[in-house]
Structure 1
Amino acid sequence: MIHWFQNRYLDLLGSIYIYNEHRGYTAIDRVLDAVRVRSPENTELISAIEQHRADERKHYVMFKRWFELQGKKPMRLDRHFGHIDRFIEIMFGRTIDNLDTQEVIDQDKLFERMCRVIALTEQRGYKQVEILLGNRFVKSDSRLVKIFEIIKKDEPSHWAPYENWLNQHAKREHTWWERMVDGFIHSELLFLKLPVLFLNPFVKRREDWSDEGEADPDRYSHRPRVAAG
């Protein structure tokens, strides 16, 4: 019984993470579009975000390989299990897919909000990885431990460029409301959605990989790492 519980937990955990990593790097593509239009001369910021995108893609590939070694695909999850999806929906009133990139480019307040949302999401991810590295089920899988150790090492560089931009342009810090929304989304996933998913016997596995058919998904993966600042 414990063995089944452990395998089920890790299976769902991996499925949630691979969904979020894929959602992460594909969403960052749209952020890059906005930054290149708003600040084409800020090559340091663009390079840092490109590195962020490359890391998210790398994390996705690591989880993909983790599933491949088990001879299975992840569970078929949707945007309801994505932290950045829920954050964008609440803060912008629309899904990531329906977000108007041009509107974000044109309005400073929307671009600032986007930077704060991304920074908070990455900081939340770092805290969660720290917790998971102490989880006894996670520690039972050496490959998964290695994945989370790499993510933990990468994460601080992910929120840095967005917070640096906000600081350099004298924009306001995260509000209590934004932090409350971040905490709500995390609690909602941890205490409501994950238990329901765990007990749902009808959840199906994907029949394909999320990145199938993507044009050059690794285009930034071989760039040398740059310091955010």
Structure 2
Amino acid sequence: MLRPLKAFRERFLDVLASIYIYNEHRGYTSLDRVLEAVRARCPDEAGFIAAVEKHRADERKHYVMFRRWFERQGRMPLAVDRTCGHIDHFIERVFGCPIEELDTAEIVANPARFEQLCRVIMLTEQRGVTQVDVLLRNRHVKSDAILSRIFRIVEKDEPDHWQPYARWLLKNGRAKARWREVWADWCIHKSLMLVKLPSLFLRRSTPRMAAWPDEIAPAA
């Protein structure tokens, strides 16, 4: 009985960490575009700019922690792609294009679009807080001391990832998320939890990455 349980646990943690390393890398590289927009749209708001810079730095830090976890395991992460990326799906639903094709100049010039981008990030990061809380109570995560420590660090950092956007939106009278954005966030989360993640767990043919994401697309 113990052997199947151990195999399940190892597969669960492998899939979980692979998804997180994808999303953390996607997060900090995508925040370069957000920073560009924030600096152009709010050049005099040093506090807001600094908060987004910290958000970007934290996402990079989290990515490195998950990378080191895999390095200790002696293996590469599973080759997870944008189908398991919450922010990928959210941006595409709201803006109608992949993250790479976001028109930063158009977002800066259009107050409504800039506010929408801030709400998407706020909702995504709030979703992350809820998910980390669930994972920290998961017995498989708790059984791995290093992974538990990583998630506790993520939990500590998470408030700084959504509160700056919420404060800016409140200051500008746009704090309340639109029902379509809330619905999109909920649908994406359910799709990932109930379809994409179980499929990845069961699909043993998924290859592992041949190189680390930051080596393929290095970021400063």
Q: TM-score range by the shorter chain?
A: over 0.9
Q: Partner of 1:130 in structure 2?
A: 133
CA separation in 1, counterparts of 2:39 and 2:166?
Answer: 17
1:77 Cα deviation after fit: 1.2
1:85 aligns with 2:70: no
Instruction: Give the superposed CA RMSD.
Output: 1.0
After superposition, what is the alpha-carbon deviation per residue over 1:138-163, rounded to whole angstroms, capped at 9, x for unaligned?
01100000000000000011101111
Q: Partner of 1:112 in structure 2?
A: 115
Higher helix proportion (structure 1 or 2): 2
- What is the SS of the residue equivalent to 2:131? helix
The one of 176, 201, 206 equivalent to 1:203 is 206
CA separation in 1, counterparts of 2:216 and 2:85?
Answer: 21
Q: Partner of 1:186 in structure 2?
A: 189
CA separation in 1, counterparts of 2:207 and 2:75?
Answer: 12
- What is the SS of the residue equivalent to 1:13? helix
Query: CA contact under 8 A between 2:142 and 2:148: conserved in structure 1?
Result: yes
CA separation in 1, counterparts of 2:174 and 2:14?
Answer: 41
Provide TM-score, normalisation by structure 1.
Answer: 0.92
Provide TM-score, normalisation by structure 2.
Answer: 0.96
Q: Structure 2: which amino acid aligns with 1:181?
A: A
The one of 149, 156, 160 equivalent to 1:157 is 160
1:37 aligns with 2:40: yes
1:13 Cα deviation after fit: 0.2
Q: Structure 2: which amino acid aligns with 1:122?
A: E
Q: Structure 2: which amino acid aligns with 1:37?
A: A
1:213 Cα deviation after fit: 5.4
Query: Percent identity between the aligned chains?
Result: 53
1:176 Cα deviation after fit: 2.0
Extract unaligned runs of 5+ from structure 2.
none
Q: How many residues align?
A: 217
Q: Partner of 1:48 in structure 2?
A: 51
Q: Residues 28 and 87 of structure 1: is their aligned pair in 2 closer, same or farther, counting only changes over 3 Å?
A: same
Q: Structure 2: which amino acid aligns with 1:6?
A: R
Q: Residues 215 and 192 of structure 1: is their aligned pair in 2 closer, same or farther, counting only changes over 3 Å?
A: closer
Extract unaligned runs of 5+ from structure 1.
218-229
The one of 131, 137, 140 equivalent to 2:143 is 140
Q: Structure 1: which amino acid aligns with 2:140?
A: F
Q: Structure 1: which amino acid aligns with 2:94?
A: M
- What is the SS of the residue equivalent to 1:170? coil
Query: CA contact under 8 A between 2:166 and 2:175: conserved in structure 1?
Result: no
After superposition, what is the alpha-carbon deviation per residue over 1:70-121, rounded to whole angstroms, capped at 9, x for unaligned?
0111011111110110000001111101111111111111100000000000
